[in-house]
């Protein structure tokens, strides 16, 4: 199961958990599984998030691969100048 790390102000929408384990092969599946497990996270995910998968920042790609032992960090959607 991939481990999805939530930033601390999101944890109140996930029963206080810092890490949520999900079955997912892609970033999109991981986000969908996260919302299914904790519907309170839907506004945050819908507002747009970036992720880091095993150290690699994925700004906006639901198809990016996630491995069973991946560490996934949610980040605010990143912009550039």
Partner 1 sequence: MAKDELKSGYKLIGTRPNRPDGLDKVTGRARYGADFSLPGMLHAAVVRSPHAHARIKNIDVSKALALDGVKAVVTRADLPTGLSGEDLNLQDNTLAGDRVLYDGHAVAAVAATSALLAKDAARLIAVEYEILPHVTDVDAAMAPGAPVIREGVADYSVPEGMHPNVARYMAFGHGDLEAGLAAADIVREHTYKTEATHQGYIEPHACVGQMGEDGRGEMWVCTQGHWYIRRMCAAVLGIEAANLRVTPSEIGGGFGGKTTIFIEPLALALSKKAGGRPVKLVMTRSEVLRATGPTASASMDVKLGMKRDGTITAGQVFFRMQGGAFVGMSPIGEALPCAFACYDIPALKHEAVEVIANRPKAAAYRAPGSPMAAFAVESLVDEMCRELGLDPIEVRLKNGAKNGSRSSYGPDYTVIGLQETLEAAKAHPNYKVPLGPNQGRGVASGFWFNHGGETSVSLAVGEDGTATVSIGTPDIGGSRASIGLMVAEFLGIPYENVRVSVVETGALGVNEPTHGSRATFASGKAAVEAARQAVAEMCRRAAADWGIDPDAVEWKDGAAHPAGPNAGKFPPMSIGEIGAKMGSTGGPISGHHEVTAEGVGASFGTHVVDVEVDPETGRTTVLRYLVVQDAGTAIHPAYVEGQYQGGAVQGIGWALNEEYVYGADGRLQNPVFLDYRVPVASDLPMIDTVIVEVPNPGHPYGVRGVGETGITPPLPAIAAAVAGATGARIRSLPLSPPKVLAAIKAAKG
**Footprint of partner 1 (CB under 8 A):** 5, 7-10, 13, 43-44, 47, 52-61, 63-64, 71, 73, 75-81
Give the nearest distance from C-beta 5 to partner 1 in angstroms: 6
CA 81 from chain centre, in angstroms, equals 24
Give the nearest distance from C-beta 47 to partner 1 in angstroms: 7
Give the nearest distance from C-beta 23 to partner 1 in angstroms: 21
32-37 long-range Cβ contacts below 8 angstroms, 24+ apart:
34/4
Of the pair 32, 71, the CB lying nearest partner 1 is at: 71
Please tell me the number of Cα atoms within 13 Å of 50 on its side-chain side.
Answer: 13
């Amino acid at each position: 199961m991939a481990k999805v790390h939530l930033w601390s102000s999101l944890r109140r929408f996930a029963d206080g958990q810092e890490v949520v384990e999900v079955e997912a092969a892609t970033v999109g599946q991981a986000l969908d599984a996260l919302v299914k497990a904790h519907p309170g996270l839907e506004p945050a995910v819908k507002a747009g998030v970036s992720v880091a998968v095993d150290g690699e920042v994925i700004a906006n790609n639901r198809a990016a691969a996630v491995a069973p032992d991946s560490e996934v960090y949610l980040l605010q959607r990143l912009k550039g100048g």
